[in-house]
Structure 1
């Protein structure tokens, strides 16, 4: 009986390891194979968006969120007109779509809490280290990362240029390939 249980456990570990090393979705819409899946490969070089899109403060609202834990921020997800049309239609994002995220440290509102009589209201505070993030859809330029380029701008508005850090965005976004690599769902 112990041998049978051991065989099942070993089979499960092997299956899990194989699934982890070669996910079925890897390579879909990316033109990459598992052998190319490293941030050091030439295919991964074009992943970074280095400019803040002009007029992003006037883009439309997509959703809002609170990230707890070490981040402890509040964030708003926004989209340019092209991305908003795709969100509303429930369709994949076309070329030129840009989805952005603006974050602030979450701080208690002393004024509001005084009115409410208890601490329950939180508002945007200072910008966190990763203040702005954008995903830009350009299937040719960012073919190695599912057609999306990624950016991260600090509170000094300077872009992160570390390829390994930015490539990690793509690695994480592979979890939602069925939604064209975009985590945030539209909140009408």
Structure 2
């Protein structure tokens, strides 16, 4: 019995489950996807009102759906939008580049769980400390309200930026 407990502990340790408390969680229960930096690029963007350079990444399900223009996206698709403030390159002032990390946002497709928000769960983690955004789970209404103008594109502003 003791060896089974020790084995289970090491399995959990190796999977990262023991340290789940270290993972930031949004007020609606969506945890930061720790592996999002390894996802594929879907598109870059620039948001003038915030002066943020952004890149949109997708997990494998999201990338397949984006490449194939699949709408609605399948359950299990997850998009990550990473945003930075901007600065001019010191040796090439006509170039704008990322400055400080601002936030990472996630859209998680689950048509049953997030039916009230078009099948999408939203989460935002702000600043270098990845502080969960929102005082309570109602923060998602802010996200969803912004995305309603693109309801016909499964609430997505972004399309796959194809390259040859």
Q: TM-score per shorter chain, which class?
A: 0.7 to 0.9
In structure 1, what is the equivalent of residue 143 of structure 2? 169
* TM superposition shift of 1:150: 0.5
* Equivalence for 1:63: 43
How many residue pairs get aligned? The number is 133
Structure 1 unaligned blocks of 5 or more: 1-46, 114-118
Is 1:120 the equivalent of 2:99? no
Name the CA distance, whole Å, in 2 between partners of 1:49 and 1:100. 16
Return the offset for 1:100.
1.0
Task: Give the TM-score of the pair, scaled to structure 1.
Answer: 0.67
- Does the 8 Å CA contact 1:49/1:136 hold for their aligned counterparts? no
1:182 aligns with 2:162: no
Tell me, yes or no, if structure 1 residue 140 matches structure 2 residue 112.
yes
Query: Partners in 2 of 1:63 and 1:89 — Cα distance?
Result: 15
Alpha-carbon distance between aligned partners in 2 of 1:49 and 1:76, rounded to the nearest angstrom: 24
Identify the range of structure 1 (49-58 vs 77-86) with the bigger mean alpha-carbon deviation: 49-58
Q: TM-score, structure 2 length as denominator?
A: 0.76
Deviation at 1:179, TM superposition (A): 0.9
1:19-49 Cα offsets, whole Å, 9 max, x none, are: xxxxxxxxxxxxxxxxxxxxxxxxxxxx935
**1:152 is aligned to 2:131:** no
Match status 1:110 vs 2:90: yes
Counterpart in the other structure of 1:81: 60
How far residue 73 of structure 1 moved from its aligned partner, in angstroms, is 1.1
Runs of 4+ aligned residues of structure 1 deviating over 2 Å after TM superposition are 47-50, 161-166
CA offsets 1:115-156 (integer angstroms, 9 cap, x no match)? xxxx2011111112xx10000001121111111000110012
- State the structure with more CA Rg: 1
1:49–1:149 contact (8 Å) kept in structure 2 = no
CA shift at 1:180, angstroms? 0.8
Q: Structure 2 regions of 5+ residues with no counterpart?
A: 1-26
